[in-house]
């Protein structure tokens, strides 16, 4: 979700776009392997070298013919969110969240599975889904936000949240906060800064 906002805010500049296309949940309505293959080809043939004009339309104009269907699919997934950034209008937070979620789900949709099933299936996705639902409820109390304000607010609100994945580590391994570590008696500790 954060990579999607960074790419949209930059006008889908090459570096944020490559980061977004490299994310494991990016499918762009293709099979996962095919999406990775198309993204790597797009990076090699177009996104390396001189900076392109910003925007998905400019990207499509400069795309080689063999990659045009892939870029057209990307544009279809991301167009509503891109237009909100291009128009530079202030929108209610609920509208920003809806555009953001729809773009993320569309981008995560594969040839065989919906984007919603991809995004919200695991622990982190369920936690983010609950968080976004809470934000939608609280959105009525905020004034409309501009395209520069929404990504900053999203990043600030997201930075306060943490998802602890349950049952992933060895039962005798503990990752503790500095305070917890000071209060614990252990035989062996590894400190990381």
The CB density around residue 149, as the number of other CB atoms within 10 Å, is 16
Give the whole-angstrom CA distance, residue 187 versus residue 193.
20
pLDDT of residue 170: 73
Confidence at residue 53, expressed as pLDDT on a 0 to 100 scale: 82
When comparing pLDDT for 120 and 167, which is higher? 120
pLDDT at 141: 86
Is 90 exceeded by the pLDDT of residue 124?
no
- For 2-56, what is each residue's pLDDT tens digit? 999 999 999 999 999 999 999 999 999 999 999 999 999 999 998 887 777 888 9
**Residue 97's pLDDT is what?**
95
Running DSSP on this structure, what letter comes out for residue 191?
-
Average pLDDT over residues 96-107: 95
User: What pLDDT is stored for residue 168 in this prediction?
Assistant: 62
User: Can you say how many angstroms the Cα of residue 66 is from the centroid of all Cα atoms in its chain?
Assistant: 26
Bridge partners, residue 40, by sequence: none
Q: How far apart are CA 92 and CA 153, in angstroms?
A: 13
Residue 177: φ, ψ to 5°:
-75, 165
What angle, rounded to 10 degrees, do the helices at 93-108 and 123-138 form? 160
Helix (H, G, I), strand (E, B) or coil at 145: strand
Give per-residue pLDDT as tens, 130-165.
999 999 898 888 899 999 999 999 999 888 877 766
Q: What is the predicted pLDDT for the residue at 163?
A: 72
Per-residue pLDDT, averaged over 171-175, amounts to: 76
CB 42 within 8 A of CB 71: yes
Structure token pair of residue 110: 């594969």
70 contacts: CB under 8 Å, gap ≥ 6: 28, 30, 38, 39, 42
Q: Name the average pLDDT for the chain.
A: 89
């Amino acid at each position: 979700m954060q990579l999607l906002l960074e790419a949209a805010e930059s006008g889908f500049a090459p570096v944020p776009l490559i980061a977004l296309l490299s994310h494991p949940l990016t499918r762009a309505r293709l099979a996962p392997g095919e999406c990775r293959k198309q993204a790597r080809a797009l990076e090699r043939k177009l996104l390396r070298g001189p900076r392109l004009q910003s925007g998905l339309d400019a990207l499509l104009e400069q795309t080689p013919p063999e990659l045009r269907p892939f870029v057209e699919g990307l544009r279809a997934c991301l167009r509503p969110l891109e237009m909100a950034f291009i128009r530079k209008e202030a929108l209610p937070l609920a509208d920003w969240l809806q555009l953001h979620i729809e773009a993320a789900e569309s981008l995560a949709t594969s040839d065989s599975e919906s984007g919603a099933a991809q995004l919200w299936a695991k622990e982190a996705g369920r936690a983010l889904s609950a968080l976004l639902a809470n934000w939608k409820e609280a959105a009525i109390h905020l004034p409309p936000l501009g395209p520069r304000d929404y990504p900053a607010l999203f990043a600030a609100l997201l930075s306060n949240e943490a998802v602890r994945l349950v049952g992933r580590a060895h039962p005798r391994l503990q990752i503790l906060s500095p305070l917890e570590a000071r209060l614990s008696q252990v035989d062996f500790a590894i400190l990381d800064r």
